[in-house]
């Protein structure tokens, strides 16, 4: 029998929300069940649940405030939730991958420029830590691929633009398999690390123009993986 495709925590949580909102069990503004209840219902680990909820919060599907109850966003309904998650549900055909590449070029070049202008010392520390971990993971494609994704997420955080951060969160599920493909050979992993180090230096130096160009060049190296 063919192996069933793995379902990510984001997909599990998305389907949960879609069905609950569709049935009227959850309405805009309603509080979410406790983490313990959600873990039991969704059969996901605590870590996966928190990661999924953090991503839902990032794209505006839920509202999470420290020390307060997490609630369904007031703006969410069945149609809006479907539209928000549309890129995550896209088919993995050539057109979709080409669209993803174009979206990344537009999004990540500007995000890199803003990160160069707006980063904090904490952002730089996080990026340095990521680069150090990536260098240690050059022999492990899966670990390196995850760190590659994390590097770009950290840059999105450093850009200090809520909507760009939302956009990056929306396409995350489509990015993950592509980045694992990028990292399937050690030679490619070493190339990615060099590109990341160059981009980091431009961000650290506050050179927005160079950061934008380096981000564009970095994506261009792997353009064939999207076709």
What tokens does 174 get?
């489509």
Mean pLDDT of 82-88: 49
The whole-chain average pLDDT of the chain stands at 81
pTM here is 0.63
Domain ranges of the chain: 9-84, 91-226
Spatial separation of the C-alpha atoms in residues 117 and 74, rounded to whole Å: 33
Which helix (H) or strand (E) covers residue 80, if one does? Answer: helix 78-84
Listing DSSP states for 193-221 in one string gives: HHHHHHHHHHHHTT-HHHHHHHHHHHHHH
Query: Does the pLDDT value for residue 1 go beyond 70?
Result: no
* Identical fold, 9-84 and 91-226: no
**Coil, strand or helix at 63:** strand
Task: Give, in words, the CATH class of 91-226.
Answer: mainly alpha
Spatial separation of the C-alpha atoms in residues 99 and 12, rounded to whole Å: 25
Nearest to 200 by CA among 168, 154, 162: 154
Spatial separation of the C-alpha atoms in residues 153 and 132, rounded to whole Å: 16
Looking at the domain 9-84, which fold is it?
Answer: Arc Repressor Mutant, subunit A (1.10.10)
pLDDT of residue 225: 61
* pLDDT higher at 54 or 27: 27
* pLDDT higher at 67 or 83: 67
* pLDDT higher at 119 or 165: 119
């Amino acid at each position: 029998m063919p192996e069933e495709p793995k379902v990510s925590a984001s997909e599990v949580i998305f389907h949960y929300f879609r069905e609950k909102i569709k049935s009227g069990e959850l309405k805009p503004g309603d509080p979410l069940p406790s983490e313990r209840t959600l873990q039991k219902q969704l059969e996901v680990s605590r870590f996966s649940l928190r990661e999924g909820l953090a991503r839902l919060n990032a794209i505006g599907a839920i509202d999470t405030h420290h020390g307060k109850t997490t609630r369904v966003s007031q703006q969410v309904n069945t149609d809006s939730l479907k539209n928000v998650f549309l890129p995550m549900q896209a088919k993995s055909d050539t057109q979709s991958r080409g669209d993803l590449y174009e979206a990344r070029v537009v999004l990540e070049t500007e995000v890199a420029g803003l990160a160069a202008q707006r980063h904090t010392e904490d952002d730089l520390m996080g990026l340095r830590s990521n680069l150090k971990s990536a260098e240690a993971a050059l022999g492990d494609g899966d670990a390196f691929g995850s760190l590659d994704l994390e590097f770009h997420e950290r840059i999105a955080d450093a850009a200090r633009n809520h909507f760009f951060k939302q956009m990056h969160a929306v396409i995350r599920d489509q990015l993950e398999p592509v980045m694992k493909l990028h990292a399937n050979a050690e030679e490619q992993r070493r190339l990615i690390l060099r590109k990341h180090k160059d981009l980091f230096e431009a961000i650290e130096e506050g050179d927005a123009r160079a950061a934008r160009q380096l981000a564009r060049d970095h994506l261009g190296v792997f353009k064939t993986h999207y076709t």
